């Protein structure tokens, strides 16, 4: 550990690392959206089957998210993230070889399910890392930059995957993305460390994080505190149950579901929308899909700075988080206007405006870092991401059935765009004041039995 008095900035490098991992994760789950059209033609996959292939990822993601949060809390973010990236990269490579298997659809369903299982630790681990490495006044920016990885991924990987698919065939989309993932896994294992053990951080930076509310001791524990003494670190079902008794967290979870519904449209059907509804080639769709993604990136990063600026100016955490969320997610509903324009340029304009708004309003991970109980930040992040990704199960399948019945994306855009308005209502009607939830022990619970003593006579 460095010792000079001048504060180091190792936390920004850590932020870059978790952003890189999420960028890769988002790219790998989007491989099917780019390769899907050629796979449908070559392998005889229907629109409904494609909807289920998009959806099965989220079944696994949702089922495994809370256990992944427990793994992150129990064994630490470093190990959970390393194993996740390594295994899901191997699974991604496997999808490039499904044409050699006789039962193609079952094989793809299994591989997409495994992809969801292995990507599940990313969110909970990142939530813990942001809470440990960043003071409260910097979490808006940190959470926004981390969340912006999904836009970076689309901006970078969609054109790359479109080119690979067009030039070499759909199989190479999966193989190249998988190989990149294995490289990232070993890079992560080599470079990532917790705050108290990182060789690039000094005491001044640790004090800056600690005094600002950062939980620098959070990931010290694989059973020890900062002095090496054993500690008990396990969550009870009673602790987890308190999350679902919190009106604030329930509202945050509902809003995240709605935000992710918009994300999943862009991650699954958007390139297919550009090809089928707007007549582009897959190479053009891959390139054009990057434009809304860049706008989403700009919105995401901008909102983080504005949120933290509002917090410093007003000292009002609720206003600082809800203000950008309200503006951004209201703007995201403008995607519905694509139904009423004819030119490609206007479609890209409204999609870019909607994605900018979606990015601007996506402060969910910062809110989790602000509100999750200290004892179970990983589990809270897991539940938050799990409920949010229920939309990944529902949205692609609903769109698949809409396309099958109507042959058009018009109702699909209305269905997706309305989620932004619902998310805004959830924050203002349900969430209330944003603050950290304090867990009560079972002994202090109002419903817990009160011990009695027999009166001596």
pLDDT of residue 323: 92
| HSE toward the beta carbon, residue 162, CA cutoff 13 A | 22
- The number of distinct structural domains making up the chain is 1
In the beta sheet, which residues pair with residue 2?
202
Question: Which range (87-96, 224-233, 381-390) has the least confidence?
Answer: 224-233
> Among 184-198, 226-240, 295-309, 410-424, which range has the highest average pLDDT?
410-424
Q: What was the pLDDT predicted at 408?
A: 85
Asked if residue 61 is part of any domain, the answer here is yes
Using CA of residue 63, residue 66, residue 72, residue 74, what is the dihedral sign? negative
What is the tens place of the pLDDT at every residue in 25-77? 989 988 988 888 889 889 988 878 888 888 888 788 888 877 887 787 778 88
**457 in any annotated domain:** no
- Categorize the per-residue pLDDT at 446 as very low, low, confident or very high, splitting at 50, 70 and 90: low
Contact 195, 201 (CB under 8 A): yes
Which DSSP category does 455 fall into? Answer: P
CA 380 – CA 397 distance, rounded (Å): 27
**Is 124 part of a structural domain of the chain?**
yes
d(CA 128, CA 305): 21
3 lies in some domain: no
Assessment of whether the complete model's pTM goes beyond 0.85:
no
Query: What was the pLDDT predicted at 250?
Result: 93
C-alpha atoms less than 13 angstroms from C-alpha of 364 in its C-beta half-sphere: 34
Mean pLDDT of 275-302: 81
**Strand, helix or coil at 179?**
helix
pLDDT in tens, 111-152: 999 999 999 888 778 878 888 888 878 877 787 788 778 778
Q: Which residue has 């990136």 as its token pair?
A: 297
- Interacting residues of 46 by C-beta distance below 8 A, sequence separation 6+: 40, 404
Closest C-alpha among 419, 423, 426, 304 to residue 370: 304
- DSSP 8-state secondary structure symbol assigned to residue 195: G
pLDDT tens track for 334-359? 999 999 988 888 888 998 999 899 98
Whole-number pLDDT of residue 232 = 47
DSSP character for 447? T
Tell me the CATH number at 26.
1.20.1250.20
Q: Is residue 139 part of a domain?
A: yes
pLDDT average, residue stretch 399-403: 87
The residue among 27, 16, 14 whose CA lies nearest residue 181 is 27
In DSSP terms, 230 is beta-bridged to 224
Is residue 226 a contact partner of residue 388, using CB atoms and an 8 Å limit? no
User: 373-397 pLDDT, tens per residue?
Assistant: 877 777 787 788 788 888 888 888 8
Task: Establish how many alpha carbons lie within 13 A of residue 176's alpha carbon, considering only the half-sphere containing its beta carbon.
Answer: 17
Mean pLDDT of 244-263: 91
Range of the domain at 161: 10-215+238-438
CA distance 178 to 87: 10
Q: Would you list the DSSP string of 353-390?
A: HHHHHHHHT--HHHHHHHHS-GGGHHHHHHHHHHHHTH
d(CA 414, CA 39): 28
Task: Give tens-digit pLDDT for 147-188.
Answer: 778 778 877 888 899 899 989 999 999 999 999 999 999 999
Tell me, yes or no, whether 95 lies in a domain. Answer: yes
Strand partners, 224: 230
Query: Does pLDDT of 306 surpass 70?
Result: yes
* 86 pLDDT higher than 70: yes
**Residue 230 dihedral angles phi and psi, to the nearest 5°:** -65, 140
Phi (first) and psi of residue 70, to 5 degrees: -65, -40
Q: Is 2 inside any structural domain?
A: no
Task: Decide if 27 contacts 177 (C-beta within 8 A).
Answer: yes
Give the integer Cα–Cα distance in Å for 197 and 200.
Answer: 9
Task: Centre a 10 Å sphere on the Cβ of residue 231 and count the other Cβ atoms it contains.
Answer: 11
Q: Is residue 251 part of a domain?
A: yes
């Amino acid at each position: 550990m460095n010792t000079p008095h001048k504060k180091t900035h190792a936390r920004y490098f850590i932020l870059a690392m978790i952003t890189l991992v999420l960028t890769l994760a988002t790219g790998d789950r989007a491989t099917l959206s780019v390769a899907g059209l050629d796979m449908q033609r070559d392998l005889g996959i229907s629109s409904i089957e494609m909807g289920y292939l998009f959806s099965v990822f989220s079944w696994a993601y949702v089922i495994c998210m809370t256990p992944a949060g427990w793994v992150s809390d129990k064994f630490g973010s470093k190990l959970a993230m390393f194993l996740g990236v390594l295994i899901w990269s191997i699974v991604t490579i496997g999808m490039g070889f499904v044409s050699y298997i006789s039962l193609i659809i079952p094989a793809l369903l299994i591989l997409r399910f495994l992809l969801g299982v292995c990507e599940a630790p990313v969110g909970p681990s990142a939530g813990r890392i942001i809470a440990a490495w960043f003071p409260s006044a910097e979490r808006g920016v940190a959470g926004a930059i981390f969340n912006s990885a999904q836009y970076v991924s689309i901006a970078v990987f969609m054109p790359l995957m479109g080119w690979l698919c067009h030039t070499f065939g759909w199989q190479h989309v999966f193989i190249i993305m998988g190989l990149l993932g294995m490289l990232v896994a070993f890079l992560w294992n080599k470079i990532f460390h917790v705050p108290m053990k990182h060789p690039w951080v000094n005491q001044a930076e640790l004090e800056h994080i600690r005094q600002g509310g950062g939980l620098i001791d959070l990931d010290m524990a694989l059973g020890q505190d900062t002095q090496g003494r054993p500690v008990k670190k396990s969550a009870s079902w009673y602790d987890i149950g308190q999350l679902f008794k919190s009106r604030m967290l329930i509202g945050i979870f509902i809003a995240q579901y709605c935000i992710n519904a918009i994300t999943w449209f862009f991650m699954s059907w958007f390139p297919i929308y550009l090809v089928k509804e707007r007549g582009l080639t897959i190479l053009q769709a891959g390139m054009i899909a990057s434009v809304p993604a860049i706008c989403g990136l700009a919105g995401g990063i901008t909102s983080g700075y504005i949120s933290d600026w509002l917090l410093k100016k007003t000292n009002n955490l609720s206003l600082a988080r809800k203000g950008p969320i309200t503006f951004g997610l209201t703007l995201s509903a403008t995607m519905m206007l694509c139904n009423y324009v004819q030119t490609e340029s206007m479609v890209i304009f409204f999609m870019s405006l909607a994605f900018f708004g979606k990015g601007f309003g996506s402060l969910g991970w910062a809110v989790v870092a602000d509100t999750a109980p200290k004892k179970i930040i990983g589990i809270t992040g897991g539940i938050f991401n799990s409920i949010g990704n229920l939309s990944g199960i529902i949205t692609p399948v609903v769109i698949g059935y809409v396309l099958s019945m109507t042959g058009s994306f018009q109702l699909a855009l209305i269905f997706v765009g309305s989620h932004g308005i619902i998310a805004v209502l959830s924050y203002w009607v349900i969430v209330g004041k944003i603050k950290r939830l304090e867990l009560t022990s079972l002994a202090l619970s109002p419903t817990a039995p009160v011990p009695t003593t027999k009166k001596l006579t």
